[in-house]
Amino acid sequence: MPALCRRPYPEPVQVTFGSFTPVAPVVLAPMAGVTNAPFRTMCREFAPGLVYVNEMVMAAAVVHGNAKTERMMTFTADERPRSLQLYGSDPELVGEAVRMLCGEGRIDHLDMNFGCPAAKVTRRGGGAAVPAKPNLLRAIVRAAVSAATPYGVPVTIKFRTGLFHSLLTHVTTGRIAAEEGVAAIALHARTAEQHYAGTADWDAIAELKAAVPSIPVLGNGDIWEAADAVAMMQHTGCDGVVVGRGCLGRPWLFRDLVDALQGRPVAPAPVLGEVCDVMARHARLLAEHMTEPLALRDFRKHTAWYFTGYPVGGEMRGRFSMVSSLAELDDLIAALDPATAIVPGGERIRRGHTNGPIRVALPAGYLDHLDDAAVPDDDDVMALSGG
């Protein structure tokens, strides 16, 4: 991480989401295939009172009633705030989707994605491609805020530093967000080209905070332990943090973050038996959320993350990666030594995506006219929804 220093930026801004004020300025980043209702429940059990954002869904798919998207937009009865991330590159469709979501009372907070680097999104001008065209970005943000405001639903946006180091857009994006009435902004301090490789540029977060001091700025990137959040806020002057890969297999990280940011001691890493108790709880929540066979198939990736840093052994990891029932999971857990401790430095072993740099996929001629606000045809947009 960058050298620790306190920069002379404005005092932190109170981070609120409409009428909801989190107990600490900490947000769970939406992650495709991960931050569903069971995962968010696990995180809330360790740290209630934070903002946990659902998986990203597509505006066009919301408008057209895509069945898969409907299943993804699931919240538990006691979940507040109900936070959802939306993406789209057509202001009209985005506005309609937001009106539907707010009008039906389905959400309490809307986050807009302008940072996804996935080729299937950027090649049609969505996600991280949008901020390269500030007029299009402004139109989309304005449509979302205008549609959400009558319902009292706050809109936030999350974005990267730019497509490439030669085309940095984070400051312009932040200023547009502030001008259009966005409640808070979050910067993943990598370019789309970097993907998830290298080190997050925390200085870019500091630059953004200095440029838009009037609204909360949240930093995202390379928060693996609670101390990293404290260091990021001290280094950049940002008002809070967004946590993604660092919490994979570690939902207790949110408890640690709250403790660290409120000046309390952070608990030591759990021993393997405690990790396994969390794993079993998580798997059962998934089984309640979907059928048991589908749940265990989905849970396999989580087992690798839960075991990161623990000397479990390759053979046992392989068996967990093929688990197919809750009974089998329980039997495998029973064969482990519950007293096993994490290896030194195990908390900092990276989880999730680590690949990059990548070639950013963009529509033909996309960068030729950055001042236009052209959007893809609806048929192209719907192709992203998988249905």
Domain boundaries along the sequence of the chain: 26-267, 272-348
- Residues of the chain with pLDDT below 70 are 1-12, 374-387
Q: How many other C-beta atoms lie within 10 A of the C-beta of residue 258?
A: 23
Query: Which residues are designated catalytic?
Result: 116
pLDDT at site 310? 98
pLDDT at site 9? 52
Instruction: Round to whole Å and give the CA distance between 171 and 157.
Output: 13
CATH of domain 26-267: 3.20.20.70
Phi, psi of 27 (to 5 degrees): -130, 135
Instruction: Round to whole Å and give the CA distance between 352 and 344.
Output: 20
pLDDT at site 1? 46
For 267-326, the pLDDT digits (tens) are 999 999 999 999 999 999 999 999 999 999 999 999 999 999 999 999 999 999 999 999
The CA-CA-CA angle for residues 246, 38, 339, to 5°, reads 60
CA atoms within 13 A on the CB side of 201: 18
Contacts of 145 (CB under 8 A, 6+ apart): 155, 180, 181, 182
pLDDT at site 24? 97
pLDDT at site 2? 47
pLDDT at site 373? 72
Q: How many other C-beta atoms lie within 10 A of the C-beta of residue 245?
A: 21
pTM: 0.93
Q: How far apart are the first and last CA of the chain?
A: 41
Q: How many other C-beta atoms lie within 10 A of the C-beta of residue 237?
A: 22
